[in-house]
Amino acid sequence: MPALYTGLVDDAAVFPPGSATLTDAVTAHRGHRGGWYASLVGPLLVPASDLGNVPALLAADERLEIGVVADVPLEKLPATVAGADPRLAVRQVEAAVAKRSQDPQPGLQALLAMRQDWPDVPVYAEVPLTWGLLAALDTLAAARADGVPVAAKFRTGGLAAELFPTPVELAAVVCACRDRRLPFKLTAGLHHALRHTDPETGFTHHGFLNVLAGTLAAERGAEVAEVAELLAATDPVPLIEPARASRAADRPLWIGFGSCSILEPLTDLIRLGLVDGGFE
């Protein structure tokens, strides 16, 4: 697995639209961890409210790397994470700090204040792509400059059209993070490599290869218009070449994305000739 794709896809099997049972998700994650493509896969993402149900699915000496996704009130999150079974290695904590109509600062400040309960665990603050966004990014960048392992998280899809940012909107966010040297993670709607329209919903989804090419361009100094053009592309040619040229390098700024399917993005990488491999 080329370095460019290491840890690209967090295993969000229990989240929509996949919505696997926790039992099935843990079993499938073991398979991914034992596969030739294991380095592509990040931790298993588990809702905070489900942490107590995972240990019964593990062997006595088994250790499972997880990411905790807050589906409990923020004030309950520290105790929930602290009470996790020691066999659960918490790699990251993710929490939405506001709804689309809310100022993100109060929730962001609360999350930053409580992260002292897990000082060495990266925290991803999910910020809505609405008003107050740039101020929130400034706050995150300042905290990171002070040594806090915090990064941004953005939603790139969902069950409503307004949850899908346009290429220009997403490009502006990528460039804003670039300007602040702020890493970011994405979630929702990124199962496939190329930008496409879902025939069932009519929603146009971003492609993770588009995002990768756009981030690489932003890192070399591209402005919003050029990044947006890459995000909007449906032809793989202008996306494949920069990915091939950077295959041995670490991803700049973009940490990765959560997907309820691991095999769909892996299959796309193979079909596009970006990863050599096959299924056992």
pLDDT, tens only, 203-240: 999 999 999 999 999 999 999 999 999 999 999 999 99
Contact 227, 217 (CB under 8 A): yes
**DSSP 8-state symbol, 191:** -
DSSP strand pairing (9-11 vs 196-197): unpaired
Our CA dihedral for 172, 124, 156, 128, rounded to 10 degrees, sits at -70
Assign 88 to helix, strand or coil.
Answer: strand
pLDDT along the chain (280 residues), means of 10: 96 94 98 96 97 96 97 92 94 95 94 85 94 96 95 92 93 98 95 93 95 98 98 96 96 96 96 78
pLDDT score recorded for residue 277: 73
Length of the chain: 280
pTM assigned to the model = 0.94
> Which backbone phi and psi does 90 adopt, to 5 degrees?
-80, 110
pLDDT score recorded for residue 47: 97
Assign 181 to helix, strand or coil.
Answer: coil
